[in-house]
Structure 1
Amino acid sequence: MAGGGNNARQKMINLMYLVFIAMMALNVDREVLRSFESIYLTMESSTQLTTENNNTFYTNITTKAKDEADYQAIDAKAKIVKQEADAFYNYVESLKQEVKGANYTPGAEETDYNLLANSESVMNLFFKGKGGDNGNEKAQELVSKVNNFRNFLLTYVKDDVNSTKRINQVFATEPVGKGKKSWLLEKFYEQPMVAALSNLTKLQADARTEEGNIVRDLLAGKLKEKIELNAFEGMFVSPGIVKVGDEAVLNVVLGAYDNSLSGSVQTSVGSAQIVNGKASIKLNTSSVGIHQLTGDLTYKSSTGENKVVKIVPSTYQVVAQTLDVKAAEIIEKDPTGGSIVADNLRVVYRGVDNPISATINGANGPVSMSSSSGSTSSAGANRWNHTPGAGNEVVFTATAKASSGKTLTVRETFRVKPLPPARGVVMGKVAAGIPQASLASQRVRVDWPDFLFPVKGEVESFSIKVPGKPIERVNGNSLGGASSISAAKRGDNISIINIKYKSSLGQSGDASIVSIEVL
């Protein structure tokens, strides 16, 4: 009897253990479901922030397109990207609404764990009907939508190997490895409702992130192109005055003579290929007189596109003698047979000292210089420094005396331009790949690539967007000043925007954006 009592008591203890273990398992399941719901809601919030950030770029591009014709093509491309991304996002959102149904309230205080754990709505949506366990028509439609959106994104990244690899990985719908489940089965078969919602929301978040990457690249490429092209113009470098019958060569360069330039020139006196940054064309010196020079310069940009730049018109003069009576007659009849040449083309930049040179053919004494605005000071024989004043143009007037006593005058109009915008860089690049461990030690800087004046600048503040984190404003220039930088992981694309700087000339401005790929 005693043995029988002990056996019954042991059975009761064992039963109590089973109940206790079951209660613990139930509590763990609830915590898992609560965590899934928290992740799902966090992703939804982050996706909304990414959408707002993308809309800021769209607005900036549209505003630019209204004022600058060069941005209209970028605006058209951006609108296509937005249209495709919105269509994909809204399609996935419609699936989420079907999965959730009418009874689910996200983030409710009294969470319905049975609803979160229920897989019936997911199975009915994707695996009920034709196709069964392999996915019905709605499931196959989802796979097709993901594939089509991936292919659309790939048309914009083209030869960018890293972006292509990332997009193929993020929007992959093929099973990886032998014997692996299909993408549909892995993501949705027998999955609780909250897990399916998380997977669908991740698709939306990835779509908005890649949409932002493309639009930022469109805007960054245009800003980089403006910095490169607005600082230069095609320029003739000719002898000015040539004795009849002498050999003379015309050089054509782009701006400050970039020896990496390749392309060709087509001018009123002939055509030639660009070699070591310049094209050389022999001038026709068989006839006396002033000859006009016009033409175009075609070169290949850093993106591989052919660009055409108008060359600033110029002249060269052929004379029978350089110091005889005939030359004096030419000068007397055409006292403008001299030249005023800006060392940096017929452009002067506001805020810096611009070197100016002037000569007058037939002058028998020093040349004097005056300007319609700003200040001009002597820098030696026939050379001056000019600091622009107000207005968009300045007229330089050079005067000198001929041997006959006549006053010779030459006038030229120059454009007054502001300094070109600074370029934002990290490690000297507008798009850099940086290991995650090195991110915090990097600094955001600005430069003026190929600008002809020694301008420097310091970054005072910037904004940073790390995937999954809201936009963060940082004072100073250190990436380590951003708390969100620690959340960046390999494969992420970080955007540095709204870069505020002050130049060494005391001028403030906004620099172009910087893109960082975390390695």
Structure 2
Amino acid sequence: MAIKKNYTSPRQKMINLMYVVLMAMLAMNISNEVLEGFSLVDESLNRTTENAQKQNLAIYKDFEEQMKANPQKVREWFAKAHWVKQMSDSLYNMAQELKVAIVKEADGDDGDVDNIERVDDLEAANQVMLSPGSGKGPALRKAIDAYRERILTLIADDNQRRIISGNFATKITGKSNPYNKSWEEYTFEGMPVAAAVTMLSKLQNDIRYAEGEVLHTLVSNIDVKDIRVNKLSAFVIPNAQTVVRGDKFSAKIVMAAVDTTQQPRIFIGGREMNLPNNTYEFIAGKTGDFTLSGYLTMLNGNGETVRRDFEQKYTVVDPSATVSADLMNVLYAGYSNPISISVPGVPLNKVTATMTGGTLQPTGPGKYIARPASVGKDVTITVSSMQTGKPQQMGQYTFHVRKLPDPTAYIPLGTDRFRGGGLPKATLMNAGGIRAAIDDGLLDIEFKVTSFEAVFFDNMGNAVPMVSSGASFSARQIDTFRKLSRNKRFYISRITAVGPDGISRKLPASMEVIIK
């Protein structure tokens, strides 16, 4: 649809100038020669309008042909063009009917718009357009306002919007309207038939001009701005840049047309990028799912800038390896066992896991807490990938379930743990009590001490046991500590403690304390 826009010709500019001059002369009450001049302007306007109508009809015909050839591509713009034709014809025909009504009011029922007899009649336009109750002027003004608002919704160019908005303006302000008349009063009050008909002919000319501008805009949308290409290339566009064995690989394979004579301008993040060979490269700094988005701009055959947005999703994963120790596949019953789970090539937020024989609670990306329900019964953790939107099983891992081992008792001394040997009396007096924990380099699990026994020896060598019902030293024990002399010793034994699994146990070992 290679249709060029028509710009205002010198001849049309001359017609417009003649129209302005004749209106000014009319205001000065010039004779019948001026009225005959209006007829000349009206004829010229009608010829220009007829030519514009022919060009518009040619575009409509091309629309119909394109609609038959490619309805999917053209349907949207064809519907808009049909809408433009309907509302343009409606306002055009309304203006034509008013011209006929004014001429017949002046010349009688046999009046002919193309051969007006009483061109100087000053009452006909007033009667048709401004008569109280039946005047058509207000209806015409409302129709022009509605047409202007609707037609402007289809025009993006700011310059064309200003021109069309001015052509259909119905508000007369400033010094030219000192009595604040309405548009219809300002336009038709006291106007001879020749001037009123010419005014309506100008409105018809403006309608066809606006109609043509919109049609050219719609045509450019169908032609996708008519960018010329000279090379076809094949491209593969994957749905995901990272795929795990067993997952589905999805990619679009397309033929793309390019212009090797000019390179598009590429914008990413709102900034224009200078990309060698149109290749965008960067160092990925963090893992996860990301989207590269931006837009391209390029000049079409008419020198207009065409913009096209783009978007590409990609995934960044951490380098990873799986290390398995055969003797360490153990979980402890009733305990919150920390578990780390990952799948090479899959983001942590796309990995899920479940466990039999207990609960598996996620605490963060790749981090879980496993709590087996019972001792001696193995549990199985199943790991799945959600990379493609549905679960894909990646593997199953079985763990033996054991009871937590017994803790070791100690006396807390700040950040140190005293487990036996020499201890200053002052330090012992300030210790407050004992604690118990598993602290073997792999686990660091605190237990709650519920009771223990301190065994002292009197001067006869007799054992004197003193029981505490909690983890703190009793008042009797502390008083005995105060009386101990250097190198005296006592033993802490029969310690009872409860672990996070809820099981109460008596610790077999005793702690020997020697006063220094």
Question: TM-score, length-normalised on structure 1?
Answer: 0.41
| Larger radius of gyration between Structure 1 and Structure 2 | 2
| Higher RCO structure (Cα 8 Å, ≥6 apart) | 1
Question: TM-score, length-normalised on structure 2?
Answer: 0.41
